A and B are shown apart, each in its own frame.
Chain A
Amino acid sequence: MIFTLARKSLTARWGRNVFIALAIAFGVSFVSGSFVLADSVRATFDELFDDLTATLDLQVRAQLQGVNETDGAVRDPVPAPLLDVVAAVPGVSKVEGQFSRFAQIVDRDGDAIGGGGPPTFGFAWYDPPPDSVFQLDEGVAPVGPDQVVIDRPAADLTDYRVGDTIPIIVDTGLRDFTLVGIAGREDGQDVGGATTSFFDAAFAAEILSAEGVFDTLDVTIDDGADLDTVKQAVAAALPDNTEVLTGQEVGDETSDQLGTIINAFGTGLLIFALVTAFVSAFIINNVFGITIGQRLRELALLRSIGANAKQVRRLIVIEAMIVAVIATVGGVFGGLLVAQLIIWLFNQAGAGFPSVDMLLLPRTVIVSVIIGIGVVLMSVVLPARRASRIPPVAAMRPELGFEALTAGKRLVGGAVTTGIGVTMFLVGLFVRPGGTPGLALFGGVGALLTFVGITSLSTTVALPVSRAIGAPIEKIFGVPGKIARDNASRSPRRTARTASALMIGVALISAAAVFAYSLRDTFTSVLENSINADYIVTDQSFVGLPPAVAESLYSIPELSAVSPLRAIRGTVPGADGSPEGISIAAVDPVTIPDLVNLDVSEGDFGGLESGNGVMVYRETAADLRLGTGDSVDVTYQNGTEATLVVSGLFDDNSLDGDWYISLDEMSNVSDQAVRDQFILARVAEGVTPEQASAAVEAAVATFPQAQLQDNAEFRAEVSGQIDQFLALITILLSFAIALSFFGIAVTLALSVFERTREIGLLRAVGMSRRQLRRSIRWEAVIVAIFGVVVGAVVGLGMGIALSMAVPDTVISQITVPVPILIFVVIFAVIAAVLAAWYPARKASKMDVLQAIATE
């Protein structure tokens, strides 16, 4: 019986149930989409690396000590003569010396492809084994110093064909090659948009400036030989600081490293997904509250003709569950679309996602179902209980409505929840109990509770605040404005709930904006203070600048000081004696004092000239109990040990970390290919800016991967990157924001339905359709501005707390981005007007007579 009633009631309220279902499906699909995306990307990369290492038996490479590749450490190469040593090991059939270096293809228009985007590799070509997924698609293998094979993605991108002459930028500059072949994977996959050029193995070392070394030695063993036996034999033949791994181990390691990145990416997505789910929970909750409120008389009628409270409760819950199940199923599959959409958005923003097969794991389905159905259950159980307690005589009372379901103003509850939330948030940020997990848990749960608490509190302030926001609107727009203002403040709880959905999105955007802009301003002011250089040459290739760039800058007389900055990793004994990973920058000790101002407070960079000197950031030195003149034992990433003497202390570690050594020391301890992170240069006295820039531009002209910027341009670029970061966060929050405007539209549509009679009366006494539409539009605007105002206040607080929580070296000054806040308000007004479009249209199309006759 109850089922029949539920079914009838669902079909009778078709339109409203579609809205509710959409709100649920939106929330669920974003959660499901985040999981789908992270799982799919991980699976795709796993497969990719499994395939790449499938035909690799063993790999010999340099060891990394105390650090790994995800820290940004680059392995030393292995010396070329080792190839013969390994080849002589019994059971080894073939050894290929591999290196992956920088080689960027220039397209027909003269532009280097890839730009600052995905990596551009240069490899030595060895004929792939027949069972390899990687094969020559077209043409022949490269022979001699002037031939090249490029991979399919590069060919597609540049439209080069076999036989063309193509320019490629290598470490020594631009060189022309003849394209003789195109190589590709059988499955047509590309790796994150990376492009690769292959050169004849006999000449590749010369072309790619890798003479005398290989990055790795790839070993094929004899047929029938035992892998482990050969591996042990190879290991026995290897010198110190080199290691041998099986292809399987190499593949697993790469997958693990990527897994870490993908997990971080997935976690980030999930946070935004949960925000979206949280926002949709607000909307679902609100919509159920309103619709049940509108049905109270009907429910009371059921009671009066003999239905018991349990039956009424069951009726509501069953109805909601039917909608929830359908919507959740839709949402789970909608997640596949959301995942595609996110990939598309990221690709539009310049990220090179590989084409990914969508993967829907059972875990994704389970989580989505829990969220979809759980949220509905939570939204519906309480109002259902209250509705079932309505006495049957209430059926006769016309004034019964949504407000009858509310339990007072919840001022105390709201204040307590907000208090706990804010406290947890601050504890998470500043105390960080248990490190990062504590930060995430306390910060996240604290923010969540704050939002819930603020929502309760805003019920109390909704009346005065919405009246205040509406005051100028009433003044300007007369009666429609007045009606809008009155209606917006009519049900403070409804207004507060509807606005709260928007409040969350706005709060997060404002917090991110405060954080990002504080970061930017701190960074640019640090740059202004700490960099005296006139020019900064940055690397766009991700592999570092070749030394030729710095050499050509050193050689021009218009510059008085030049220093490249290189990086190496290592460990030092920590305060408790256990090794602590550090990043060490190498600089030219002669010129660096002219180029940077790191607030050296003791000693000077001149101390580095002796070779074993090191400059240390004051706080780090204090932690490790180091003073000027003390010695410190460093183990570099390649295992080389050295004892360095502290030659001075500095107070500003914002440029390139806590440790500085000389370039000479670095080349003494490391055999890795010389790569510059960036290069600083200062114009000599008496040289005009025009002369200097002409000379410097000419010096780097043959290196398109080197981006030349003056100090101001560099700062502008950093600002641009911060803007991009903010844009990314905004994109991810846009689902939640869109959902909250959807919520405004639904709530308004329900209100319009509820006020049918009133609307009929207004029309009867002479309100025009236009005035009516306007009043509904302005009601939406008032609710939206309310959400934005509360959101901005909460978000500013959060953003300021966040900015204060990070160390001063990262953020030392707090910026409130007023233009962004103004933009958000303007955007909210426009979006609210759009959200009101359907309800306003519906109201203005109402037949006056029928509206008046409505019970």
Chain B
Amino acid sequence: MKPLRERDRLPRMSSVLDAPAAPPVAAAEATDARKIYGSGDAQVAALAGVTFACEQGKFTAIMGPSGSGKSTLLHCLAGLDSLTSGSVQIDGVDLSRLNDKQLTELRRTKVGFVFQAFNLIPTLTAKENMQLPMMLGGDAVDEAWFDQVVATVGLKDRLKHRPSELSGGQQQRVAVARALASKPRIIFADEPTGNLDSNSGGEILSFMRSAVDELGQTIVMVTHDPYSAAYADRVVFLADGLVVAEIVDPTADQIIDQMKQIGHA
């Protein structure tokens, strides 16, 4: 397997200059989040008290070995799963206070999703898939924004195609475009390149990167691949349900070193 292109960049000057400014606003944050499965001796803590914030306008990666709780954390942050104790806030709203209807509304308007596979409704065209959240809410589509998103992911000539007529990479690009199209507060991506070859995977990650840089989007991504994680502004490492390490502006090598320390194969 040939190595992935590592994003080659210098530390940004702005982060140095703006150091004393106000603390960055969190798009989503978990406070002492615990998620316990089972009871008694069979109890397993998927999350054993995670406190974690995703900064506004940043690309955050969550890594960790299998069973570390990284997917559970993502699902709880996104309001797809509920915590046993602790709290999760998106845009300042405590998700535990929301009922199903409000959670649905939140997912439609404030959150975008990119899953590993089966991201699209097979009966809808690419364009319909991208606009689905807005259509569900009966919201008007911001055409200018939509065109910009479509241009960014390079799918202008694929809008009328159904998922079965698109390659795996194109399907994931549609999924990213859908997540972006509704201008959510935050996008959650669960191993978005897990099913793709390295070229397509790289493309997807570049789009996500540019969405953050150029469009100011906030993205949280779960991955087990250090080269993918290297696209992020920050990598948070989970092990046994706890945050164990964090690297800001990581490189793939740094990530691999950190993984070795945690005991990742």
- Which residues of A does B touch, CB under 8 Å? 399, 478-479, 482-483, 486-487, 490, 757-758, 761-769, 771, 848-849, 852
Q: Quick check: which of B59-67, B90-98, B128-136, B205-213 contacts chain A, the rest being far away?
A: B128-136
A758 to B115, CA, bound (A): 12
Whether A771 and B136, one on each chain, are in contact in the complex, defined by CB atoms closer than 8 angstroms, is yes
In the assembled complex, the CB of B189 is this many whole angstroms from the nearest CB of chain A, namely 13
Partner of B121, one of A761, A771, A852: A761
A767 to B113, CA, bound (A): 13
22 contacts between A and B (CB under 8 A): A479-B132, A479-B135, A479-B136, A482-B124, A482-B135, A758-B121, A761-B121, A764-B80, A765-B108, A765-B178, A766-B107, A766-B108, A766-B109, A766-B132, A766-B133, A767-B104, A767-B108, A767-B136, A768-B104, A769-B100, A771-B136, A852-B118
Question: Beyond the given A490-B123, A767-B108, could you list 4 further A-B residue pairs with CB under 8 A, ordered by the A residue number?
Answer: A761-B119, A764-B107, A764-B115, A852-B118
Whether A766 and B124, one on each chain, are in contact in the complex, defined by CB atoms closer than 8 angstroms, is no
Partner of A768, one of B101, B164, B178: B101
In the assembled complex, the CB of B47 is this many whole angstroms from the nearest CB of chain A, namely 14
A483 to B128, CA, bound (A): 11
Task: For A479, list chain B residues within 8 Å (CB).
Answer: 132, 135-136
Nearest A-chain residue to B116, judged by Cβ: A852
Nearest A-chain residue to B106, judged by Cβ: A766
A490 to B164, CA, bound (A): 13
Whether A769 and B104, one on each chain, are in contact in the complex, defined by CB atoms closer than 8 angstroms, is yes
A757 to B116, CA, bound (A): 13
Once A479-B132, A764-B107, A769-B100 are accepted as A-B contacts, the answer to whether A487 and B123 lie under 8 Å apart by CB is yes
Task: For A771, list chain B residues within 8 Å (CB).
Answer: 136
Nearest A-chain residue to B164, judged by Cβ: A399
In the assembled complex, the CB of B187 is this many whole angstroms from the nearest CB of chain A, namely 12
Task: For A767, list chain B residues within 8 Å (CB).
Answer: 104, 108, 136
Nearest A-chain residue to B190, judged by Cβ: A852
Once A487-B123, A766-B107, A768-B104 are accepted as A-B contacts, the answer to whether A761 and B133 lie under 8 Å apart by CB is no
Task: For B115, list chain A residues within 8 Å (CB).
Answer: 761, 764, 852
A125 to B100, CA, bound (A): 79
The answer to the question of B105 belonging to the interface, with a C-beta cut-off of 8 Å to chain A, is: yes
In the assembled complex, the CB of A113 is this many whole angstroms from the nearest CB of chain B, namely 61
Task: For A769, list chain B residues within 8 Å (CB).
Answer: 100-101, 104
Whether A848 and B80, one on each chain, are in contact in the complex, defined by CB atoms closer than 8 angstroms, is yes
Flag B105-149 by CB within 8 Å of A: 1 or 0 each.
101110001010011111110001000110111100000000000
In the assembled complex, the CB of B96 is this many whole angstroms from the nearest CB of chain A, namely 16
Task: For B113, list chain A residues within 8 Å (CB).
Answer: 764-765
Residue from B101, B107, B128, B136 having most chain A Cβ neighbours under 10 A: B136
Task: For A483, list chain B residues within 8 Å (CB).
Answer: 121, 123
A765 to B112, CA, bound (A): 7
Main SS of chain B's interface residues?
A: helix
A762 to B108, CA, bound (A): 10
A126 to B81, CA, bound (A): 87
Once A849-B75, A849-B80 are accepted as A-B contacts, the answer to whether A765 and B132 lie under 8 Å apart by CB is yes
- Which residues of B does A touch, CB under 8 Å? 75, 80-81, 100-101, 104-105, 107-109, 113, 115, 118-124, 128, 132-133, 135-138, 164, 178
Nearest A-chain residue to B128, judged by Cβ: A482
In the assembled complex, the CB of A151 is this many whole angstroms from the nearest CB of chain B, namely 67
Whether A765 and B123, one on each chain, are in contact in the complex, defined by CB atoms closer than 8 angstroms, is no
A768 to B108, CA, bound (A): 9
A191 to B121, CA, bound (A): 65
Nearest A-chain residue to B75, judged by Cβ: A849
Whether A757 and B104, one on each chain, are in contact in the complex, defined by CB atoms closer than 8 angstroms, is no
Nearest B-chain residue to A763, judged by Cβ: B104
Task: For A487, list chain B residues within 8 Å (CB).
Answer: 123
In the assembled complex, the CB of A14 is this many whole angstroms from the nearest CB of chain B, namely 25
In the assembled complex, the CB of A295 is this many whole angstroms from the nearest CB of chain B, namely 19
Partner of B136, one of A399, A766, A852: A766
Nearest A-chain residue to B123, judged by Cβ: A486
Whether B136 and A758, one on each chain, are in contact in the complex, defined by CB atoms closer than 8 angstroms, is no
Task: For B108, list chain A residues within 8 Å (CB).
Answer: 765-767
Task: For B104, list chain A residues within 8 Å (CB).
Answer: 763, 766-769
A478 to B133, CA, bound (A): 12
Task: For B75, list chain A residues within 8 Å (CB).
Answer: 849
Nearest B-chain residue to A852, judged by Cβ: B115
In the assembled complex, the CB of B195 is this many whole angstroms from the nearest CB of chain A, namely 11
Once A483-B123, A490-B123, A849-B75 are accepted as A-B contacts, the answer to whether A761 and B118 lie under 8 Å apart by CB is yes
Task: For A765, list chain B residues within 8 Å (CB).
Answer: 107-108, 113, 132-133, 136, 178
A757 to B81, CA, bound (A): 16
A764 to B128, CA, bound (A): 16
Nearest A-chain residue to B129, judged by Cβ: A765
Task: For A848, list chain B residues within 8 Å (CB).
Answer: 80
- Listed from nearest, the 3 A-B pairs whose CB atoms lie closest are A766-B108, A486-B123, A479-B135
Whether A766 and B123, one on each chain, are in contact in the complex, defined by CB atoms closer than 8 angstroms, is no
Task: For B138, list chain A residues within 8 Å (CB).
Answer: 478
A399 to B137, CA, bound (A): 30
A399 to B171, CA, bound (A): 15
Nearest A-chain residue to B112, judged by Cβ: A765
In the assembled complex, the CB of A4 is this many whole angstroms from the nearest CB of chain B, namely 29
Once A761-B115, A764-B113, A765-B113 are accepted as A-B contacts, the answer to whether A478 and B101 lie under 8 Å apart by CB is no
Whether A849 and B178, one on each chain, are in contact in the complex, defined by CB atoms closer than 8 angstroms, is no
Task: For A486, list chain B residues within 8 Å (CB).
Answer: 123-124
A399 to B121, CA, bound (A): 13
A769 to B108, CA, bound (A): 13
A87 to B115, CA, bound (A): 103
Task: For A478, list chain B residues within 8 Å (CB).
Answer: 135, 138
Task: For B80, list chain A residues within 8 Å (CB).
Answer: 764, 848-849, 852
Task: For A757, list chain B residues within 8 Å (CB).
Answer: 118
Nearest B-chain residue to A848, judged by Cβ: B80
In the assembled complex, the CB of B31 is this many whole angstroms from the nearest CB of chain A, namely 21
A478 to B136, CA, bound (A): 8
A769 to B99, CA, bound (A): 12
Nearest B-chain residue to A766, judged by Cβ: B108
Task: For A852, list chain B residues within 8 Å (CB).
Answer: 80, 115, 118
Task: For A849, list chain B residues within 8 Å (CB).
Answer: 75, 80-81
A769 to B136, CA, bound (A): 11
In the assembled complex, the CB of B46 is this many whole angstroms from the nearest CB of chain A, namely 12
In the assembled complex, the CB of B93 is this many whole angstroms from the nearest CB of chain A, namely 16
Task: For B137, list chain A residues within 8 Å (CB).
Answer: 766
Task: For B135, list chain A residues within 8 Å (CB).
Answer: 478-479, 482
Task: For B123, list chain A residues within 8 Å (CB).
Answer: 483, 486-487, 490
In the assembled complex, the CB of A778 is this many whole angstroms from the nearest CB of chain B, namely 14
Whether B178 and A766, one on each chain, are in contact in the complex, defined by CB atoms closer than 8 angstroms, is no
In the assembled complex, the CB of A501 is this many whole angstroms from the nearest CB of chain B, namely 24
Nearest A-chain residue to B113, judged by Cβ: A764
Nearest B-chain residue to A480, judged by Cβ: B136
Whether A766 and B105, one on each chain, are in contact in the complex, defined by CB atoms closer than 8 angstroms, is yes
Task: For A763, list chain B residues within 8 Å (CB).
Answer: 104, 107
Nearest B-chain residue to A489, judged by Cβ: B123
A761 to B132, CA, bound (A): 11
Residue from A399, A479, A486, A762 having most chain B Cβ neighbours under 10 A: A479
Task: For A768, list chain B residues within 8 Å (CB).
Answer: 101, 104-105, 136
A434 to B100, CA, bound (A): 69
A312 to B109, CA, bound (A): 48
A745 to B240, CA, bound (A): 45
In the assembled complex, the CB of A571 is this many whole angstroms from the nearest CB of chain B, namely 71
In the assembled complex, the CB of B262 is this many whole angstroms from the nearest CB of chain A, namely 25
A357 to B136, CA, bound (A): 59
A764 to B164, CA, bound (A): 21
Residue from B105, B115, B121 having most chain A Cβ neighbours under 10 A: B121
In the assembled complex, the CB of B130 is this many whole angstroms from the nearest CB of chain A, namely 10
A479 to B115, CA, bound (A): 22
In the assembled complex, the CB of B242 is this many whole angstroms from the nearest CB of chain A, namely 22
A813 to B100, CA, bound (A): 60
Task: For B121, list chain A residues within 8 Å (CB).
Answer: 483, 758, 761-762
In the assembled complex, the CB of B243 is this many whole angstroms from the nearest CB of chain A, namely 22
In the assembled complex, the CB of A748 is this many whole angstroms from the nearest CB of chain B, namely 16
